[in-house]
Structure 1
Amino acid sequence: MSTPVIISLGSNDKGAWPDISALLGAAVNDLESAGLGDVRRSRWWRSAAWPDPADPPFLNGVVQGAWVGTTAELMTTLSGIEARFGRERSAKNAPRTLDLDLIDFGGQVLDSPDLTLPHPRAVDRLFVMGPLAEVDPDWRDPVSGRTVIELVETARVGRDAVPVDR
């Protein structure tokens, strides 16, 4: 049995790729190759880096899909994909080639030392809620019950985020 999942993608360092859009597209392909099924992808959204807008701007997006496996297996898969794309965890919020965050796992609410679901800061980030509204406008935050449309209006981080053409 599969579980509906929502994963955010972001990058502000193209690494060896021609551009960040190509990098993120390749990451979506890797997610599918790793077993994420029924994938729906948002447009990419551009925003200033946060918290330091002097860093290169970000492209972000969201994929919604179906996962057969546990949250631990998915988190291991996400970490492996990040590593293959050259993700280095140096300083917090430093520029990065790929950031994959598990936003929602079947509406599960979890607060453990290893994982918090839904992602604890996603609802306050326009560069996550905006793309999520594109792929699942009926999504509700499992904690507050608020709709993604409401959360788009109240998100405080990344208010400059705007969609870019595919």
Structure 2
Amino acid sequence: MFREMRRKNQLLSQEDVAAVFDRGTNGVLACHGDGDYPYAVPVSYVYYNDKLYFHSAKSGHKVDAITKDPKVSFAVVDEDTIVSEEYTTYFRSVIAFGKARIVEGDEWIEGFKALVDKYSGDLPEEANIKEIKGCKTSHIIAIDIDHMTGKEAIEFVREKNKK
């Protein structure tokens, strides 16, 4: 169902893919948007319990697209250094394919807490818990991942192989 990468020597391991998701602070969610146009939107997210979570307003293009068709992809660029003398970039990126859904109940709390821990973990826990309990204006959306893959520049592969 999912295509295999042509340049298998540049394929990231599943552990490396997870590490990129953990390091990243924003990614691009791609959905089936209005008028059959693709809709891609940057979001802050967290990779938690082998799922991706992000928050959203309770109405809008993103929620409408996910409700209409839950199949999505989500991409994160971890590295992208321009190397002008080589006419290229040294890059590392990952992509996940899955189904998005609005979460409720305990999973809403867990997803929200994971987001708060990632982006505001340096604040007192009491303040973070108060923020979570007080926020009823946001959806928490989970992406149940069906497939994830990553690729890095051949230069990074060569560097790893030297070690």
TM-score normalized with structure 2 length: 0.32
Q: Look at both structures and tell me which one has the larger radius of gyration over its CA atoms.
A: 2
Greater fraction of residues in helix: 2
TM-score normalized with structure 1 length: 0.31
